[in-house]
A and B are shown apart, each in its own frame.
Chain A
Amino acid sequence: MISNLINRKIFTLLKVQYSNMLEYRVEIALWAISGIIPFFMLNIWTNNNLNESINISETLLSRYFLCAFFVRQFSVVWVVFSFEEDSLMGKVSPYLIQPLNPFFRYFAQHLAEQITRFPFALIIAFFFFIFNPESIWIPNLGILLLSIVSTFLSFLIQFLIQSIVACLCFWTEKASSIERLLFIPTLFLSGLLAPVVSFPAYVKSWIYLTPFPYLIDFPANLLSGNETNISGGLIMQILWILILFPLFKKIWSQGTKKYTAMGS
């Protein structure tokens, strides 16, 4: 049954969503551009020689921020916004009748968007290398594969967290404001704006227990060749997924009972 699901349903969903996403190429290109904040941060770091104080060379730091950009590009999640709109418009009702959890639909949407986004991210990286030719490097295949896996796990964690928040739509109808609230710690603690190594000790002491550093800092360190605990990071990522997934299932099954079919 599972293989059937993967073969037919997921494949069809992906195909549909990919052609859908291709319609919005310009939009996705713009979205890719809006992710360039890490480069501005890099500019502050290197322009003020702040990297010296945390013992990271300029090249490694620029690689770190480039990787942070990449990881962010492929772990952006917006399921709560789609789900909120669909639920307010009553579009969720037909999805609920289908023998497929509607979140698979959103999941396929995200994956398709990532595929569409890939060339734009490459173009931005290309420009980055033109301006910073000294930071060009080729990660070895094993590291590359591992970082792709960990980026995907980071995406999964964020997708699960946001799906849980999205399920709150069944109770409060405006769940996106909760997501915006959750986005703030994600922004500042995930390592998108500053590598977690640079954080003061009183934050570093507890931050590795939260999911945040595994969202961007860990995969970016892995890919850029900065020092990081590979097995520990992967285990923590999987652990968080194992915690979040049952939570999502529970809140989903309770939420669907609460569903009031708004707008239809």
Chain B
Amino acid sequence: MNLRKYLKVYKKFLHTSLASELEYKTNILVDLITAILSLIGSIFLLSIFFQNTGYIGGWKFEQALIIQAIYTILNGITNTWFNPNLTEIVKHIREGTLDFVLLKPIDSQFFISLKKINPSGFLEIMLGFFLLLFCIRINQINLNLSFLTLCLITISCSICILYSLWFFISTTTIWFVKTWNAIEVLRSFLYIGRFPLSSFSFSLRIFFSVFIPIAFITTIPSEVFLGLSVFWKILLEIIVATIFLINSRKFWLFALKFYSSASS
């Protein structure tokens, strides 16, 4: 692995995909409005939940807003990197163009996970950051270095888990060819991440922390922000993220053995 070469290649990726995406400028504007509306919508939904109670699953409204902020950031990351690339895998496999990717003297997972970029997701990430800053103010959180590193670690772990989940499902395309809808299932499950895990019933809580670790993705970073988090939870998140990342890699290499090129 030559890091410099990969950086250079990535720069080219950025350049080409930005150039092609910026062709559709109004599209980016529409996507921005969509992101803003969807944030307003979920805050509206949250406000309905808090209409007549002060706490949901032990979270105050201001605290639950942090989860929304983190969800928005992660959703922005999904829309910027994961979604455009991993839907491309489906296309590669269906049309047999994965051959060309595999023949390139570059790691195939790197290539298909980072080739494309959707700039409208950036705006969503920024939106999430603004909300997060606002939440930090209204919750009177003191920022210091160790706190920030902890936040950074948990959020990067969340990104790794999220990436692995997406990549797992996209990899199954090699067997099932059409996994569009599996991605939709994942999306609908990820929707859970907008709410604190403790607001769900016990069985769902178990399901979303053991089978699909959505609990780790937004709840734990938010707890870190509020200073509520316990050390073992953070450690657990790091472990889960590592396991997911390693397995997504292994799974990809395993799946490639079953790849029988199409239409070529």
Interchain CB contact under 8 A, B185 and A178 = no
Question: Which of the candidate stretches A31-39, A88-96, A102-110, A135-143 sits at the interface with the other chain?
Answer: A31-39
Chain A residues near B176 (CB-CB < 8 A)? 26
25 contacts between A and B (CB under 8 A): A30-B185, A33-B185, A34-B185, A36-B188, A37-B191, A40-B191, A40-B192, A40-B200, A43-B201, A44-B49, A47-B199, A47-B200, A48-B53, A50-B49, A50-B52, A50-B53, A50-B56, A172-B26, A180-B30, A181-B30, A188-B41, A194-B45, A194-B48, A199-B48, A200-B47
Interchain CB contact under 8 A, B181 and A200 = no
Which B residue sits closest to A39, measured CB to CB? B204
Known: A44-B56, A184-B38. A177 touches B31 (CB 8 A): yes
Chain A residues near B178 (CB-CB < 8 A)? 24, 27
The yes or no answer to A229 lying at the interface (CB within 8 A) is no
Bound Cα distance A119, B56 (Å): 36
Chain B residues near A35 (CB-CB < 8 A)? 188
Bound Cα distance A30, B24 (Å): 31
Min distance, Cβ A130 to any Cβ of chain B, angstroms: 12
Bound Cα distance A203, B41 (Å): 12
Interchain CB contact under 8 A, A34 and B201 = no
1/0 contact trace for A174-190 toward B, CB 8 Å?
10011011001101100
The yes or no answer to B20 lying at the interface (CB within 8 A) is no
The yes or no answer to A4 lying at the interface (CB within 8 A) is no
Report A1-60 residues with CB < 8 Å from chain B CB.
24, 26-28, 30-31, 33-37, 40, 43-44, 46-50, 53
The yes or no answer to A228 lying at the interface (CB within 8 A) is no
The yes or no answer to B37 lying at the interface (CB within 8 A) is yes
1/0 contact trace for A198-214 toward B, CB 8 Å?
11100100000000000
Min distance, Cβ B130 to any Cβ of chain A, angstroms: 19
1/0 contact trace for B184-222 toward A, CB 8 Å?
110110011001000111001000000000000000000
The yes or no answer to A167 lying at the interface (CB within 8 A) is no
Bound Cα distance A200, B201 (Å): 26
Task: Report how many residues on chain A are interfacial, defined by Cβ distance under 8 Å.
Answer: 36
Residues of A within 8 A of B (CB): 24, 26-28, 30-31, 33-37, 40, 43-44, 46-50, 53, 172, 174, 177-178, 180-181, 184-185, 187-188, 193-194, 198-200, 203
Chain B residues near A198 (CB-CB < 8 A)? 48, 51
Chain A residues near B45 (CB-CB < 8 A)? 188, 193-194
Interchain CB contact under 8 A, A174 and B191 = no
Min distance, Cβ B51 to any Cβ of chain A, angstroms: 6
Interchain CB contact under 8 A, A177 and B34 = yes
The yes or no answer to B6 lying at the interface (CB within 8 A) is no
Report B1-40 residues with CB < 8 Å from chain A CB.
24, 26-27, 30-31, 33-34, 37-38
Chain A residues near B187 (CB-CB < 8 A)? 34
Min distance, Cβ A210 to any Cβ of chain B, angstroms: 14
Interchain CB contact under 8 A, A181 and B27 = no
Closest 5 CB pairs of A and B: A53-B52, A188-B41, A30-B181, A34-B184, A184-B37
Min distance, Cβ B197 to any Cβ of chain A, angstroms: 11
Q: Which residue of the partner chain, among B26, B37, B51, contacts A200 with CB atoms under 8 Å?
A: B51
Chain A residues near B251 (CB-CB < 8 A)? none
Min distance, Cβ A82 to any Cβ of chain B, angstroms: 12
Min distance, Cβ B204 to any Cβ of chain A, angstroms: 6
Interchain CB contact under 8 A, A53 and B51 = yes
Min distance, Cβ B26 to any Cβ of chain A, angstroms: 7
Bound Cα distance A188, B38 (Å): 8
Chain B residues near A24 (CB-CB < 8 A)? 178
The yes or no answer to B253 lying at the interface (CB within 8 A) is no
Chain B residues near A40 (CB-CB < 8 A)? 191-192, 200, 204
Which A residue sits closest to B195, measured CB to CB? A44
The yes or no answer to B254 lying at the interface (CB within 8 A) is no
Bound Cα distance A35, B41 (Å): 18
The yes or no answer to B259 lying at the interface (CB within 8 A) is no
Bound Cα distance A71, B52 (Å): 28
